[in-house]
Amino acid sequence: MAFKSIIDEIENNLNKILDALSISDIKFSVEPAKPGFGDVSSNISFLLSKQLKKSPKDIAEMLSEKYQHYSNTLVLKTEAHPSGYLNFFANWEKLNQLILSESNLDEFGDVDIGKNTTIVVEHTSVNPNKALHIGHIRNIIIGDTISRILTKANYKVNVLNYIDDSGLQVADIIVGFTHLGFDQEPPDGKKFDHYCGDDVYVKTTEKYESDSSLEDVRKNVLKELEDGNSETAKLADKITRRVLTNQLKTCWNLSVFYDCLNFESQIIRSGLWSKIFEKIKEMNLIEFENEGKNAGCWIIRGTEKEEDKIIVRSNGTATYIAKDIPYAAWKLGLIDDPFHYQKYEKEQPHSRVLWQTTLDSNNESAKNFTGEKVITVIDSRQTRLQKIITSLMGKFKSISDAYVHLSYESVTLSAETAKILRLETGGKQAQMSGRKGLYVNADSVYDLLKKKTIEETKKRNPEMDPSEIEKIAHNVSVGTLRYEMIKQDLDKIIVFDLTKSLSLEGDTAPYIQYTHARASRILEKSKRTPLIDINFSLIKEKSELDLIKIIGLFDIYVRDAVNNLSPKVIARYCHDLAVAFNSFYEHVKVLELGDETLENSRLCIVNSFKITLEKALDLLGIVAPDRM
């Protein structure tokens, strides 16, 4: 509750006042105040202005007076601001005690929005024919962060990664291996996923332009992929699984973990499509077109100005979007589960078990990776298709918003970075393209960051053990990359610039992580555990109060992040915490004050800050080092 306690107290009292005035249906706000306007503000006077035929200022004065007659534990005084706002000043002695003691609890920041219901978060879902590039990373980090935040909000989260192992992109590299003579072993220790993406995929698609006969080869390969028993399918299975293992390595390195891998090939072979096809036919959600350009196809009728969408071609085969329908329905638990589950062959770090679908029965107990709600993280270019899926799922499931497409803008390359990749754009940003080899691999960005952070850490800790430096550099590099992907809103394009991405100053993860290291060192040097039963009247410096206040706002921001599915809210909160701590650090001393009691009270603040920041950063998948 923390800071929310004072908000609730004010809200209650204001409601009582309204009751006494026989006023109802007023949805006023009670929010943390802007600096300089007390601690909590309400807009209530503005909303009453019309009804009471008085100026907001007069109403604020009236309310302020009345407020005195109600019981207050956390509010010290009220103030009617000339602008009309009703401002409240906190009893900081009590509020400090409340916030600092609550911040020591494990469940600090928890909010119960999910009520322990299940929710699916699907993210990553990259074709297993290439290495992850910086654009995929945005998807992955958004998905992982959302999963962490939803878990904090008491959802039981099932994280899924959909493996499109039977699509055109996979067919392309198989063509490369079977018809263009690419060796199945990458050269000189190159990571296999990089080799498939950088070499096999790019060069094979290049070949299509000069050799049109390859088109037929490709079509055949694609067809053979659907039949699990073909030699082609077996080769593809071997290749894609090897690429997948490499991709997962990249994800795990970034502290991204999953619960289950769902293979498209198995969805196709499970026959789920024909079941759902029958069902949507029965429900009249799909129509057979007898005439016009789509004659002979099954279509979903477009609404008003939108075009009809073909689901089954006139030759009887299902289109791309059709494949998404059974999967979406499966995720929502709307159809009998055709899968068995087995543990993934490689062990996922942090002893979180990773499962994968299989069509072969085994001895594992039954699993359920579906959810009452589903969040699918896919970039905004798929909005149109996802809208169709969403509306279709809405007709299957009565809960509103059961299926959510969490959309985000793509990552583009800055003109300078494109130039490094030998693409002249005339100063404009460029869309990445796996096909054209125009992208920046995630692994290489990590490597560059790592190299730089090792240097920086060494500089500051010349005596430190190399393995310790390595560990810190890893956490800082991962933090930097993750923070860059999450700190802005989902609807903003990220223009990725290789040089700028290496910045470790300002609004970056290292800035935030550094404050944690500072706090840790103070606690370490104090050589004692701060005691919480302190004299709170000693805390009166502005920088102290500001810091405690922000600590107390944690759950409010978690709530905000969940309700708006907005990971950046937590990123900003972490940044705010760090700014407040840095200001505290510069303005007041903690150690060697010659005043045991004051020292202890400040140590309490430092400790609360440290554990709160740790929790908040954990929601972003960022580890806070004790030294850096």
Partner RNA sequence: GGGCCCAUAGCUCAGCAUGGAUAGAGUGUUGGACUUCUAAUCCAAUGGUCAAGGGAUCGAAGCCCUUUGGGCCCGCCA
DSSP 119: E
DSSP of 447-471? HHHHHHHHHHHHHH-TTS-HHHHHH
Range 326-336 burial, b when 16+ CB lie within 10 A, else e: bbbbbbbbbbe
Antiparallel, parallel or unpaired: β 118-122 and 156-163: parallel
Note whether 139 binds RNA by CB under 7 A. Answer: no
- Of 195, 188, 130, which Cα lies nearest the Cα of 433? 130
Contacts of RNA in 219-258 (CB under 7 A): 222
- Listed ranges 65-73, 179-187, 548-556, 583-591: which one lies at the site for RNA (CB under 7 A): 583-591
Q: Which of 20, 34, 226, 364 binds RNA (CB under 7 A)?
A: 34
Contacts of RNA in 155-194 (CB under 7 A): 164, 167-169
Contacts of RNA in 51-80 (CB under 7 A): 56
- Min dist. Cβ of residue 3 to RNA (A): 15
- Of 96, 67, 88, 94, which Cα lies nearest the Cα of 7? 88
- Listed ranges 106-114, 130-138, 342-350, 452-460: which one lies at the site for RNA (CB under 7 A): 452-460
One-letter identity of residue 214: L
Q: How many CA atoms lie within 13 A of 299 on its CB side?
A: 19
| CA distance linking residue 617 with residue 164, whole number of Å | 32
Note whether 544 binds RNA by CB under 7 A. Answer: no
Give the distance from CA 335 to its chain's centroid.
28
Note whether 37 binds RNA by CB under 7 A. Answer: yes
- Asked whether the beta carbons of 372 and 118 are under 8 A apart, the reply is yes
- Min dist. Cβ of residue 526 to RNA (A): 8
Residues 6 or more apart whose CB falls under 8 angstroms from that of 595 comprise none
Note whether 49 binds RNA by CB under 7 A. Answer: yes
Q: Which of 285, 359, 532, 579 binds RNA (CB under 7 A)?
A: 579
Note whether 372 binds RNA by CB under 7 A. Answer: no
- Min dist. Cβ of residue 257 to RNA (A): 25
Q: Which of 8, 65, 278, 307 binds RNA (CB under 7 A)?
A: 307
- Min dist. Cβ of residue 364 to RNA (A): 30
Q: Which of 41, 376, 390, 600 binds RNA (CB under 7 A)?
A: 41
Note whether 141 binds RNA by CB under 7 A. Answer: no
Give the distance from CA 519 to its chain's centroid.
27
Other Cβ atoms within 10 Å of 42 Cβ, number: 23
- Min dist. Cβ of residue 189 to RNA (A): 29
Q: What are the structure tokens assigned to 5, written together?
A: 């306690």
Contacts of RNA in 2-31 (CB under 7 A): 29
Q: Which of 24, 25, 50, 53 binds RNA (CB under 7 A)?
A: 50
Contacts of RNA in 85-104 (CB under 7 A): 85, 87
Contacts of RNA in 277-296 (CB under 7 A): 293-296
Residue tagged 């990664």 (tokens): 161
- Min dist. Cβ of residue 228 to RNA (A): 16
- Of 439, 385, 434, 436, which Cα lies nearest the Cα of 417? 439
Q: For residues 354 and 606, which CB has a smaller minimum distance to RNA in the complex? A: 606
Q: Which of 17, 385, 404, 415 binds RNA (CB under 7 A)?
A: 385
DSSP 428: -
Q: Which of 5, 7, 46, 474 binds RNA (CB under 7 A)?
A: 46
- Min dist. Cβ of residue 343 to RNA (A): 28
Q: Which of 367, 521, 538, 618 binds RNA (CB under 7 A)?
A: 521
Q: Which of 69, 281, 395, 460 binds RNA (CB under 7 A)?
A: 460
| CA distance linking residue 72 with residue 450, whole number of Å | 53
Q: For residues 164 and 199, which CB has a smaller minimum distance to RNA in the complex? A: 164
Q: What are the structure tokens assigned to 598, written together?
A: 């004051």
Q: Which of 2, 59, 84, 114 binds RNA (CB under 7 A)?
A: 84
Q: Which of 305, 350, 422, 528 binds RNA (CB under 7 A)?
A: 305
Antiparallel, parallel or unpaired: β 411-413 and 494-496: parallel
- Listed ranges 267-275, 354-362, 417-425, 556-564: which one lies at the site for RNA (CB under 7 A): 556-564
Helix (H, G, I), strand (E, B) or coil at 213: coil
Give the distance from CA 377 to its chain's centroid.
9
